[in-house]
């Protein structure tokens, strides 16, 4: 028993570095600008996006070992280019300011995250269940079991996950210049 139990472990240990070498990620991930923010910087970044003419595509959330991981997707009509804003929240206190005041369309996306992950958006005008039954009493359904959770390193290998500061002029310039960098058909 102990033999068979040890083998997959070893195999996995060998596989990881090899997989890492091979894995340079996809040619184009669909993101033209992808940045990690700290929760208190989100409003400022979203305001910047609003002024640059972006619209909100959706708000996605992930349950990982480090906590709840929100991903805001923005795109632009006139000068297409997708921006992903990634924010890591504390699992025990998943709170983040609502962006409803800037994008009223975010109200439903935020309610969906509240439904499925229990993320609380402060200053949301109407944070009640959207898709789930209001009488549902269980845990948010998309939260994973303790053992199934993966860490950031497993999901986004070799990525710099330290939050960038919104104060920096560099980021604001990047947001402003963001445009589609890759044409799938030309590759």
CA 119 to CA 121: how far, in whole Å? 6
Q: What are phi and psi of 13, to 5 degrees?
A: -60, -35
3-state DSSP helix/strand/coil % of the chain, to nearest 5? 35, 20, 45
- Mark residues 122-161: x for contact with another protein by CB under 8 A, - for none: ----x-xxxxxxxx-----xx-------x---xxxx----
With 0-12 CB in 10 A as exposed, 13-18 as middle and 19+ as buried, what is 44? middle
CA 5 to CA 97: how far, in whole Å? 46
Q: Using CB under 8 A, which of the segments 1-9, 35-43, 101-109, 163-171 binds another protein?
A: 101-109
Q: Looking at residues 37 to 56 of the shown chain, list those that interact with another protein (rule: CB under 8 A).
A: 53, 55-56
Interface pick for another protein out of 108, 120, 163, 172 (rule CB under 8 A): 108
Which residues sit at the interface with another protein, rule CB under 8 A? 19, 22-23, 25-31, 53, 55-58, 60-62, 71, 73, 75, 77, 80, 82, 84, 103-105, 107-108, 116, 126, 128-135, 141-142, 150, 154-157, 180, 183-185
């Amino acid at each position: 028993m102990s033999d068979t139990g040890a083998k997959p472990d070893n195999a996995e240990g060998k596989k990881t570095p090899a997989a890492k070498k091979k894995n340079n990620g996809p040619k184009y991930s669909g993101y033209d600008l992808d940045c990690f923010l700290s929760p208190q910087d989100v409003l400022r970044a979203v305001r910047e996006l609003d002024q640059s003419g972006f619209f909100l595509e959706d708000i996605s959330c992930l349950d990982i070992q480090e906590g709840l991981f929100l991903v805001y997707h923005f795109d632009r009509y006139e000068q297409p280019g997708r921006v992903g804003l990634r924010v890591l929240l504390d699992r025990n206190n998943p709170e983040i300011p609502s962006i409803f005041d800037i994008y009223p369309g975010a109200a439903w996306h935020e309610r969906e995250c509240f439904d499925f992950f229990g993320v609380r958006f402060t200053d949301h005008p109407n944070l009640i269940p959207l898709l789930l039954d209001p009488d549902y009493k269980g845990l948010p359904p998309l939260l994973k079991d303790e053992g199934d959770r993966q860490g950031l390193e497993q999901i986004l290998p070799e990525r710099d996950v330290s939050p960038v500061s919104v104060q920096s002029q560099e980021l604001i310039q990047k947001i402003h210049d963001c445009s589609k960098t890759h044409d799938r058909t030309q590759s």
